[in-house]
Amino acid sequence: MPRSLVLGNGSLLATFDQNLLLRDLYYPYVGSEDHTTYGNVHKVGFLVEGKGFSWLDDGSWTITPAYTPRSLVGASSLKNQKLGLEILSEDFVDPLKTILIRSFTLRSLDGKEHRVQCFFHHDFHLYGDKQKDTAFYEPHTKSVVHYRSKRYFLIGGTTSDPVTCIPSQPLNEFHPLYEREDHIDHCGIVSFSIGKAKYRGLEGTWRDAEDGVLARSPIEQGSVDSTVEIDCLIHPDRPTSLSLWLCAGKTLDEVHDLQHMILEETPEQLKKSAINYWRGWLNAHDHHEGMPDELTKLYEDSLLIIRSQTDNHGGIVAANDSDIMAFNRDTYTYVWPRDGALVSTALTMSGQSEAVQKFLTFCSSVATPEGYLLHKYNPDGSVGSSWHPWYNAGQLQLPIQCDETALPISAVWQHFERYQDFEFLHQMYHGFVKKGADFLLQYTDPVTHLPLPSYDLWEEKRAVTTFTTAATVAALRDSARISLALGHHRHADRYQEAADAMQQAFLFHLYDEKEQCFLKKLDLYHGEIMNRDTTPDMSISAVWMFGILPANDPRVVSTMQRLASLLLVRTPIGGFARYKNDVYQLTEKLSDALPGNPWIITTLWYAQWQIAYATTLTELEEPLAWLKWVKSHASSSNILPEQLHPISGAPVSVAPLTWSHAEYVRTYLMYVKKKISLQEDTKKN
């Protein structure tokens, strides 16, 4: 199930499904240590006096997930006619503190007063599994705490219209909070149940809520879960507010302090502060007038979603949707240097500097002594899982993709071009760029001057590809520019000469005169070229994207026209496949009309070429239509997936995919820039 809301601050990331149930909870790294894990949810239910009981996922609710405009604060609507209940759910992670707050505004639909029992179930899998955990009720703070080792999660809440208000129990001198807290009492949790879950047939304490009476068991260890109850009155003439919070920390004192801050500041004030924070963050980015409002909103939401996927230590994760585990028992919650570099390009274009600097510093810290980057990394900098072998066909090989070393080097230059930060450039040159560029020089075939084989962009074929070669030429060229900017003339000459030689080899070997197109790949063995592959692949767009040739070069034009003809998905959904006969996540039968699932990324690459090629405002109409196509396939909360089902248009694979949002940002900004340029040309003429 795709994620409908993602909320985070770089240390705590929470994801919610279409039913507004918590599905993933990452802490202390974005994308690492999912304390819910694949397939599990934290259930929410309501028992309305005289109306009955309902869980949010039982099919009786009409739910529309959404964000508060220009912020990472939810503004989702929920309605249940049977219960006579309407709810506005404003969920957010505090921008600076590791706190998730769920603020509910409840209204009566039948014009009568009702008592509502609100149940919140928490199914933690601390450190990613369900063992050796403890959960207990703490009566002074009226909270439930789950902990194991150095992971603590405190659950608390409050309401504006309590049915009853249970007083906090006083402390004795031996209690850890006795001398360190200025106590703030509040009306919140009135009952609780703590027990075993997913162990010996036990489903969990959420079952205990369905009769409206929780068992009040105060502690359990091992495979545990908990359910808490907050009761409130809803009135016919005014709304009732209720807030539930989850504080994450590494000690009991830390989570207690976070709850104290919530009570001192109030959830309402923290919500307002969060909205102001994210709007201020967006205001630091470039803004554009004259674009359709819905496209600008998706642009801003994409920037915010990208930020939610960015860890405070620098890693930019590809996605956080753990449901992809069903495909390969692994996730996208890794830092791919390639994805991160392309996301960084979008952030640089939009005016964001801090996240880009952190990501590039991350790359510098994880690069091997030899200068290359591996397949992917965990957000803490450790090496991630991989399917690239070190040994193949009886030969030792490097399990790498050269584009993953090349693209971050180019991202360094793009950042410098925009911000002219010589100090950061100097740091990156000595820590990353020089050794990365030197590796790319060495990892070159001495006969053809092409890069030696490595795995392709799609991580499927080991060969010499157009995409990787173009990225390598660009990286060597940008390394020369960086060296020259810092006064390293000898290195600048060396990198530029290598870039020129590789570009000439690229144009000679990777263009097919007969087919009038660039190749997807070729096989290279000891300087001998074999198996020239003309399979249409949208990644060939790298020829113009990375500046090897201009967008209007006849070779580029013929190539892009061929790609458009052969990769267009000719169903009512439309869009472009990655390459001909792409079966990844495909459930329909391949055909000429269906070369593969449509991807957001590849469709936007084609739109980007149209923008780059355009010489009149009329020629910008089609790429604008592709931007609108992307918007039409975003969720109600503007979440973009990796792929779409070619018949239903439903999201396929992960959602959100950070890269999809980044390509939308790039395309939007390219369109705005080109439109302004053409408008100015029109005025001059």
pTM for the predicted model, two decimal places: 0.96
The lowest-confidence range among 190-204, 497-511, 568-582 is: 190-204
| Complete domains list, the chain, with CATH | 39-281 (2.70.98.10), 337-535 (1.50.10.10), 546-685 (no CATH)
Q: What are the backbone dihedrals phi and psi of residue 102, each rounded to the nearest 5 degrees, phi first?
A: -110, 110
How far is C-alpha 206 from the chain's CA centre? 30
- Per residue in 219-237, pLDDT (tens digit) is 999 999 999 999 999 998 8
Percent of the chain with pLDDT over 70: 98
Quickly state the pLDDT bin for 23 (edges 50, 70, 90). very high
CB 224 within 8 A of CB 196: yes
pLDDT band at 181 (very low <50, low <70, confident <90, very high): low
Whole-number Å distance between alpha carbons of 418 and 432: 19
Residue 330's pLDDT is 79
- Dihedral, CA of residue 21, residue 23, residue 28 and residue 31, to nearest 10: -140
Over range 131-141, report the average pLDDT: 94
H-run or E-run covering 681: helix 658-684
The tokens describing 251, both together, are 């000690």
Whole-number Å distance between alpha carbons of 610 and 674: 11
Q: Which tens digit of pLDDT belongs to each residue from 295-332? A: 999 999 999 999 999 999 999 999 998 777 666 667 89
Least confident of 320-334, 475-489, 561-575, 632-646: 320-334
Contact between residue 23 and residue 108 where contact means Cβ atoms under 8 Å apart? no
Split at pLDDT 50, 70, 90, the class of 420 is very high
Tokens found for residue 242: 């209720």
Q: What residue type is 190 in one-letter code?
A: V
Confidence of residue 275 (pLDDT cuts 50, 70, 90): very high
| 3-class secondary structure, 152 | strand
Q: What is the spatial distance between Cα 641 and Cα 320, in angstroms, rounded to a whole number?
A: 11
Checking if the pLDDT of 180 tops 70, the result is no
Which amino acid is located at 127 in the chain? Y
**C-alpha to C-alpha distances, 649 to 305, 338, 576, 616, 634, nearest whole angstrom:** 21, 27, 13, 32, 10
End-to-end CA separation in angstroms for the chain? 53
Percent of the chain residues topping a pLDDT of 90: 88
Using alpha carbons only, give the angle 261, 266, 269 rounded to the nearest 5 degrees: 110
pLDDT at 287 over 70: no
Distance from C-alpha of 567 to C-alpha of 537, rounded to nearest angstrom: 8
Q: Determine the pLDDT at residue 682.
A: 84
Write out the E strands in 490-598.
Answer: 511-512, 517-518, 521-525, 528-533
**In angstroms, rounded to a whole number, what is the distance separating the alpha carbons of residues 79 and 56?**
10
pLDDT the model gives residue 199? 81
- pLDDT of 373 strictly over 90: yes
Please, are residues 670 and 611 in contact by the beta-carbon 8 Å criterion? yes
What rounded mean pLDDT belongs to the chain?
95
